[in-house]
Structure 1
């Protein structure tokens, strides 16, 4: 039986995670408003900065992995698999987080009376942009883990 290669993460899965994130982010604000217990959570600069740091780590790891895969002797198979899983998880979770912050930002668009609405929108959009960088970093890391099949398998 011939082994099938592992397929790259599908655009459908990434899109679905993003759509679920948008729905959850929008719904979180609506549920929070419905409880009327306290004001909705603020988004601080900590969230987008933290997400940007994670994205930078994934992007750096993608560059390092690509170099190591070209020089096959530098990357152990277990490390390659770990990085592949990290890349795929990063892309999916990054898409979910991007959608979540985007949905949260969208949910504040009609609140011109709330003095913090504008701040919530802009910081949520910044966090969504950083989440998108995580998606890119995850996909690049996944792609960096690809190796060409041995010559015997090509024939």
Structure 2
């Protein structure tokens, strides 16, 4: 249900019809990740300045993010096959639901990528010790997996695009 926008190297397309959704901006995702980075670094500093211990990323978090990324990749593949390859019609409410799941996953994944990267950067200064080293590794792994969630969300969003009608000639 996303109409194609102009991308670098592509000819400008006609304005999308009213009621369509534009593709997610990569710049916006980068801005959200940078905001998340600032949140992650600030959170660690505030907690440690107050005498507390900064939160650590657990294995369960990594598994949950991996599971979410896998589900999104499967949904993107199935949706792409159905809409783009086999050109089957999909119930509009289902297509909008999948589109919004893809967009939301990309936004949340970008924010979490930044937060986890901020956690990792906060402990890099003490990487010589086993505790901070484990925190850097776990937070870094979570940031990488969050990028997978962003990628899968963008693929799902792209799979929801209505294909151009091959019978129509401009």
TM-score for both structures, normalised by structure 1: 0.90
Distance 1:98 1:139 in 2: 15
Of 2-11 and 53-62, the range deviating more from structure 2: 2-11
- Paired positions, count: 153
Structure 2, unaligned runs of 5 or more: 1-15
* 1:86 Cα offset (Å): 0.6
Alignment deviations for residues 86-142 of structure 1 (CA, whole Å, 9 cap, x no partner): 101111110100110001100111125754101100000010111000000000000
TM-score for both structures, normalised by structure 2: 0.82
Aligned twin of 1:17: 32
Aligned twin of 2:47: 32
Answer whether contact 1:48 1:128 (CA < 8 A) is retained: no
Aligned twin of 1:46: 60
* 1:42 Cα offset (Å): 1.9
Aligned twin of 1:3: 17
Q: CA RMSD in A?
A: 2.0
- Richer in helix (by share): 1
Are 1:60 and 2:39 an aligned pair?
A: no
Q: Structure 1 residues 72, 112: closer, same or farther in 2, change over 3 A?
A: closer
